[in-house]
Structure 1
Amino acid sequence: MSTSAPAEALLALQRFGMGPRPGSIGAIASDPRGALLAELDNPPPFSEAAAALPSSAKAVRAVADADARRQAKAIVATREEAKQPAADASMMAEDAAPKTSEMGQKMAAEAIPDPRRTIYLAEAKLRTEAALQATIGFTERLVWFWSNHFCVSAFKVRSMSGAYEREAIRPHMLGSFSDLLLAAENHPAMLFYLDNLGSMGASSVAGINRNKGPNENQSREALELHTLGVRAGYTQDDVISFANALTGWTWVPPYSSPDHGGEFAFNARMHQPGGQTVLGKRYEQEDIEQGRAVLRDLAVHPATATHIATKLARHFIADAPPPALVESIARAFRDSGGDLKETAKAMIAAPESWTLPPTKLKRPGEWVVAMVRSTGITTVDPERYTGGVALLGEPLWSPSSPKGFPDDEASWIDGIGRRLDISNAFAEREAEKVDPNEIIDNVLASQVSGEVKQAVGQAETRQQALSLLFMSTEFLRR
């Protein structure tokens, strides 16, 4: 690997940032590692426009309100369509809702749009533009990493998915892992996604009255995916005990409260009474503090340090990261008590982070952002962006399972053909404004192979040249 200043700056931008954009290599070439560390100490603020976005609770209340008004509109439209008076309540089942016609539903949908997608696209726009506008983008990459580690799915919680990232991930991604873990696990989006809202202890007041018990989804994923990792020594009994500790972690139902619906709530009537034993430790707390205590201990468990270090090294450096690299990151995590800034600094300081070749295949979202950044574009059409990454198999905030999107080449290599379609479409739109040789010379500082320069130079059209460049190793890998 080249050790020139531009080459190391390019590696820093590709491996740890969002890819080079006009002027970015020159801005950090004198000290790429120092520039990364400086961004950790002084991360760029998120867009001021985020203040206008609804909180997760407000978003879910807006959805509930729109759904209720749409249903009422459909009922009224159906009655008018049939020219029938309002149904006599005595003629309806006690808990039945009036039926609505297809025409009534259509009229209601046109009159009262569903706000879910509007909220989702507004969140997507700000998130993507933060990545496009960053000089380096290291902290944005960390947001993306932790959001995927503690993933929810917009397929299930669309209106809350962006706000969840803003509320639970962004404020804590350079702080204490314990704080990040607690923020993610008790966020209503996570509780909804992992079916904990209705989880109640079998011996709780609510459990006895409803003849129900705990849901194990969140406790299992918190152990297996969020903290310790698979085969880390926990048992099914630990999963059950932890699930009992999390009973009563719920929300204020959005349809029942126009002021506080969608907010986190602890319902003592749903909480399993008595102590719980998790990983050999007894937790005697009788309230919300029981689950919090378990999470705080999981956050500093040695297995958690190794699990987190492995995922960080795999995401940023290599599909099969060297054990020495993983151990250096894990050691920083352990020694600092889970300080995520210190953990990220250890990754930057590790020699393997700079000597291993850039062979990692970028995930679709990273590749699209890198392609757009190279042209100097700083704004985005969220419809087009979210549609593009969905076509490439990485729909925004929508992994197919709680594992999140994978970070290995085997999971993404089959989608290279679809990337060619995307690069062709983008190149066609930008060909008149963007010169591929300008990208090579000024954005990539000529740090491309001779083969790429030759292919671009011999292309029949500027569109073809741009597409070839975007599909080159220099753009696909980092």
Structure 2
Amino acid sequence: MQDIASFIALNRFGLGPAPGEAEAVMSDPRGWIAAQIALRHREPAELAGFESSEAILAAIHTARVKGDRDTRKTTNTMLRKRMVQELLARARAMIATPVPFAERMVLFWSNHFTVSATKGLIAPALPAYEREAIRPHIFGRFSEMLVAAIRHPVMLSYLDNAVSLGENSPAGQRRRQTRGSTKTLNENLAREILELHTLGVNGGYTQADVIELAKVLTGWGHGGVRGRNAMRPVHGGFEFRPGFHEPGPKTLLGRTYPEDGDREGLAVLSDLARHPSTAQHIATKLVRHFVSDDPPADAVDRIAQVFLDSDGDLAEVSRGLIELDAVWAEPLPKVKTHYELVISAHRVTGEDQARRRDVLQPLREFDHLPFTAPSPAGWGDRATDWIAPEALMRRIEWLRRFSGSLPATLYPDQLLDQAIGPVVSDDTRLWVSRAPSGDAAIAMILASPEFQRR
């Protein structure tokens, strides 16, 4: 039977135990996690063969610019179908993964650099964004992930930077002459970089810094958003447009950056990635995710120092999390998100098919489909975000249905030991023992407070 340390490793750092996994972890829970960091991260086989974001966005823009109504409809239907296929493949990868800590970090960083289907045009490319901008960097340097995420065409479109013009740029001057408009600068991306991605809301920046960063980022866009010239090839990759870029030096957080075109933005992002406020902001989010809804200050300070000392090496930061005493002190401080609940229920029961009705349908009912966060802040990471009374009832009802679909060869006693054995309460054990059927007993295990927390 697994002990508390292996339970924490499997559930807090992983995505819940798969059959037989606890035995492999018990001898060295910390080493089991650290070994996944040492492997770095490779794209799961389940995600091979899906289209790049550049190809997807090119198809979208080609249909918009050059296609008729039927062509646009056909393209949209095809791309949406492929998106659903990739969402299911992503779920299967997380259910079957031998490196669940790496997959948890994919979820964490993808949420940190949120993009969402609330901007409907880019929706089919959202899973590709995660594959391209997040997955390769989860154990790399934060500065590299920051650049990959911010320069990604999906992010530039999601936060409207592709249409941002410098007021004094050639394009901005033409806009003013032809339309009489002086409102050409879009601050959305700049604001979210400072507030959400790097310094944090209390990180010491001002509205003037937001404006200056927005100027720095003018010209960062992607192909396929200009004009209707049928002779011009359409692509969906990153594109710097000098004619959109605000000329002249910019002053941000007390430092002046000389006019340098595309490289201005890279220089600013490099400095933001190494700022002490960024270290504190990232550390707070990580400790909240792995330790407690109210992250202890000493743990935050320790992780922030690792971040600074390692130049944002996320492998070192991840190792620092493993070494926190606080992360091993309390077995059930966090509530699983709806997505984590669905994935962990599949993992612990050995149900690795991840059918649409068992993955996407419940997530739709929970209003928690992947890549549908309501704002750039992403999904919340506190208990109150996940277990309001109505949401809790939906979770329990889905777990009841899911349990009824499992094979009769799944025995409740074995499942209880594997899923929640080290932390099961006397009340839960009693209720399970009194269940009228095997299906009901399994449902009680999966719906228990112990299984819904991590």
Which of 424, 430, 436 in structure 1 is aligned with 2:412? 436
Aligned residues of 1:23 and 1:443 also touching (Cα < 8 A): no
1:215 corresponds in structure 2 to 186
Alpha carbons of structure 1 residues 65 and 241: separation in structure 2 relative to 1, 3 Å = closer
Aligned ranges for residues 168-317 of structure 1 at < 5 Å? 168-211=133-176, 212-253=183-224, 261-317=235-291
Local SS of the residue matching 2:221: strand
Q: Is the 8 A contact 2:219 2:242 kept in 1?
A: yes
Distance in 2 between the 1:350 and 1:51 partners? 35
* Misfit runs of 4+, over 4 Å: 65-70, 254-260, 442-447
Superposed CA offset, 1:88-129 (max 9, x none): xxxxxxxxxxxxxxxxxxxx95x6662232121122122211
1:379 CA drift (Å):
2.5
Q: Unaligned stretches of 5+ in structure 2?
A: 177-182
* Higher alpha-carbon deviation: 59-68 or 420-429: 59-68
TM superposition shift of 1:260: 5.1
How far residue 465 of structure 1 moved from its aligned partner, in angstroms, is 1.2
CA shift, 1:233, in A, is 1.3
CA distance in 1, matches of 2:398, 2:380: 21
Which deviates the most, 370-379 or 59-68?
A: 59-68
Greater Cα shift, 209-218 or 258-267: 258-267
Q: Map residues 100-111 of structure 1 onto 2, 5 A cutoff.
A: 109=73
Whether the 8 Å CA contact 1:142–1:173 is kept in 2: the answer is yes
3-state SS in 2 of match to 1:282: strand
- Matches of 1:465 and 1:303, distance apart in 2: 49
* Structure 1, 134-143 or 320-329: larger mean CA deviation: 134-143
Is 1:420 equivalent to 2:396 in the alignment? Answer: yes
Alignment of 1:117-156 (within 5 A): 117-156=80-119
Instruction: Please say which of residues 426-435 and 458-467 is displaced more in the overlay.
Output: 426-435
Alignment CA distance shift 1:428-1:293 (3 Å): same
Q: Is the 8 A contact 1:61 1:258 kept in 2?
A: no
* Aligned amino acid, residue 328 of structure 1: R
What TM-score, normalized to structure 2? 0.92
Which of 38, 50, 63 is the matching residue for 1:41?
A: 38
| 1:199-258 per-position Cα deviation (integer Å, ceiling 9, x unaligned) | 010000000001252100000000000000012211111000000000000111167688
Pick which of 270-279 and 349-358 moved more.
349-358
- Structure 1 vs Structure 2 CA RMSD: 2.1
The 1:250/1:69 distance shift into structure 2, 3 A limit, reads closer
Check the 8 A contact 2:133/2:145 in 1, yes or no: yes
Larger deviation, residues 271-280 vs 126-135? 126-135
Q: Which amino acid aligns with 2:129?
A: Y
3-state SS in 1 of match to 2:251: strand
- 1:18 touches 1:136 (CA, 8 Å); kept in 2? no
Does the alignment pair 1:54 with 2:51?
yes
Structure 1 or 2, whichever has the larger Rg, is 1
- Tell me the CA shift for residue 390 of structure 1: 2.6
CA offset digits 1:304-357 (Å, max 9, x no partner): 000000001111221001111111111100111111110111011011110134
304-313 or 348-357, larger mean C-alpha shift: 348-357
Give the whole-Å Cα distance in 1 for the aligned partners of 2:76 and 2:155. Answer: 26
Query: TM-score, normalized by length of structure 1?
Result: 0.88
Distance 1:112 1:219 in 2: 32
More displaced, 65-74 or 329-338? 65-74
Cα offset, 1:447, TM superposition: 4.7
Aligned counterpart, 1:82: none
Distance 2:157 2:357 in 1: 26
Offset of residue 382 of structure 1:
3.8
Provide the aligned length of Structure 1 versus Structure 2: 441
Out of 266-275 and 256-265, give the one that drifted further: 256-265
Quickly say closer, same or farther: Cα 1:272–1:113, change in 2 above 3 A: closer
Q: How far does residue 391 in structure 1 lie from its aligned partner after superposition? A: 1.6
State the identity %: 38
Write out aligned runs for 1:262-411 (5 A). 262-382=236-356, 384-411=358-385
**Contact (CA 8 Å) 1:452, 1:472: kept in 2 or not?**
yes
